[in-house]
Amino acid sequence: MNEAKPKPSAKVSDQKPTREQKHLLSLEHIKKSFGDARVLKDISIKVDTGEVVAVIGPSGSGKSTLLRCATLLETFESGRLAYGDLTIAENDANGCAVYASKAVLKHAKTRFGLVFQNFNLFPHYTVLHNITAAPLRVQKREREEVVALAQSLLDKMGLAGKENMVPCELSGGQQQRVAIARALALNPQVLFFDEPTSALDPELTREVLNVIRDLAAEHMTMVIVTHEMSFARDVADRIVFMEGGVIVEEGTAASLIANPQQERTKAFLSHYGE
Amino acid sequence: MLGMLGEGFIVSLQIFCLTLLGSLPLGLLVAFGRMSRIKPLSIAVQIYISVMRGTPLMLQLMVVYYLPYFGFGIGIGDSYRFVATIIAFVINYAAYFAEIYRSGIQSIPRGQYEAAGVLGYSRAQTFFSIIFPQVVKRILPAVTNEVITLVKDTSLSFVLSVPEMFTTAKAIAAAQKSMVAFAVAGVFYYVFNAVVAFAMNLVEKKMDYYHE
């Protein structure tokens, strides 16, 4: 079982941004197109330490693209992206986003984790190896510490004893929980979820959502793209409703769901009405 | 007769091993060239692959052997026969392996690259520890096919009079006016391939511990 220690993350010493003003994550005026299609039209989101932000919206609203821009899987044409004091991309005089050096980007990757819709576990690695590989290879941490952390994360995910299984032997919900453990093992400051339960049936969805709920209770900073409205309402501090590449409405979870101000938000929520 | 064929077999085995040793890594490099975003490189590699696959290996053996002399006027000694054989086999098989590697590499889902990228893996780390092991599992049946073909193809080096098993069998058959040497050589090839197939099957089994 888990020891009485608070939580296994928060190991790295430079966790806290030094100046109070810095947001943990800030996306400012992000613009992004695929060819002629403008997917993100001037999106700004700021996330503070301990906050849980849910991003909702219909398919094609740009919410996944936004997440992929924040996690450096896509580059945007214009705007600013920063993790605390670390500026990843900033506009030049012409309003074109210029990305920081490779070293800075690499460093930035230690600050966030991403959980994919399709898990994307490494199928040829065991569960334990999936979790320990990056901390060992990329962060060059001590094997003992990393394995101990991986074990405690697996405990927390309700997956103790599955260390030596390979992903194909696990259910989708279990795989997704391994993926969450894998992301947490790098001690990220913020964890992104890209529709983490969209590939799962309701039963397995519940397992995964419960894990995310636990993380929220521990004040893990998270940005969650989701279609699970009641989950978003329960877990998120703030909900951002996106449609057509813009933020239509943004507010505290309770108020946005119970009392949306915009017609489009109302229409969207009524489709998902429960 | 068995002794002579046995000696020939050793030479065949040398051709086989050296060809794999050279063409498996070279094939990977060729695959990278083929997939390169540098257009001229990619096109040059495509032409190379197309020539290697589109012309007989026997002809390639001849060209590699005679090119230094007829092309550049460099005298070629007797020892060059074996070297030319290895060169021709390596560049020919590298072309085939390259296409097999490419099919395997392109079949790995993007998500694997993205997951590794987000975890901070460099491109080289991603390829060698995440992508390549999965590629190997996927291409193993195709590689086995090529390796089995290679065992039989070693006999083509008789055109350069390399003293491998088939050349030896031909000489014995001519001297003895009998088919027996050919039959025995056939058994050698067959057993060799049975061993290859068995070994490759073991490797495949070993990778059976997971599926995607």
B139 interaction partners in chain A (CB closer than 8 Å):
none
A94 three-state secondary structure? coil
In chain A, whose CA is at the least distance from the CA of B114?
A: A73
Question: Residue A21 has what pLDDT?
Answer: 56
B134 interaction partners in chain A (CB closer than 8 Å):
123-124
Q: With pLDDT > 90 as the criterion, what percentage of chain B qualifies? A: 91
Cα dihedral sign for A219, A225, A230, A236?
positive
Q: Do A110 and B212 touch (CB under 8 A)?
A: no
Q: DSSP assignment, residue A81?
A: E
pLDDT tens, position by position, B144-168? 999 999 999 999 999 999 999 999 9
Q: Is A55 within 8 Å of chain B by CB?
A: no
Q: Give the amino acid at A83.
A: Y
Q: From the CA of A254, how many Å to the nearest CA of chain B?
A: 32
pLDDT tens, position by position, B167-199? 999 999 999 999 999 999 999 999 999 999 999
Q: Extract the runs of DSSP E, i.e. beta strands, from chain A.
A: 25-34, 37-47, 52-56, 78-83, 86-91, 97-99, 112-115, 190-194, 221-225, 238-243, 246-252
Question: Residue A10 has what pLDDT?
Answer: 41
A118 interaction partners in chain B (CB closer than 8 Å):
111
For residue B136, give the CATH number of its domain.
1.10.3720.10
For residue A58, CA distances in Å to A28, A61, A114, A176, B25 come to 22, 6, 21, 23, 48
Q: What is the ipTM of this complex?
A: 0.87
Domain that holds residue B11: 2-209
Of A66-75, A77-86, B45-54, B66-75, the poorest mean pLDDT is in B66-75
pLDDT band at B54 (very low <50, low <70, confident <90, very high): very high
In chain B, whose CA is at the least distance from the CA of A183?
A: B119
List b or e across A158-183, with b for residues whose CB sees 16 or more CB atoms inside 10 angstroms: ebeebbebbbeebebbbbbbbbbbbb
CA distance A86 to A18: 11
Which residues is A249 bridged to in the sheet? A241
In chain B, whose CA is at the least distance from the CA of A109?
A: B120
Cα dihedral sign for A155, A157, A158, A160?
negative
Residues 6+ apart with CB under 8 A from A263: none
CA distance B137 to B140: 5
Domain count, chain B: 1
Question: Residue A60 has what pLDDT?
Answer: 85
* Mean predicted confidence (pLDDT) in B57-76: 89
B109 interaction partners in chain A (CB closer than 8 Å):
120
Question: Residue A4 has what pLDDT?
Answer: 43
Q: What is the DSSP string of A25-68?
A: EEEEEEEEEETTEEEEEEEEEEE-TT-EEEEE--TTSSHHHHHH
Question: Residue B205 has what pLDDT?
Answer: 94
In the block, residue with structure tokens 């992301």: A183
For residue A168, CA distances in Å to A121, B73, B187, B207, B209 come to 10, 60, 42, 13, 9
Please give the biggest Cα pair distance in chain A.
56
Tokens read off for B7: 């000696």
Which residues is A251 bridged to in the sheet? A239
The parts of chain A modelled with pLDDT lower than 70 are 1-21, 273-274
Q: Do A120 and B211 touch (CB under 8 A)?
A: no
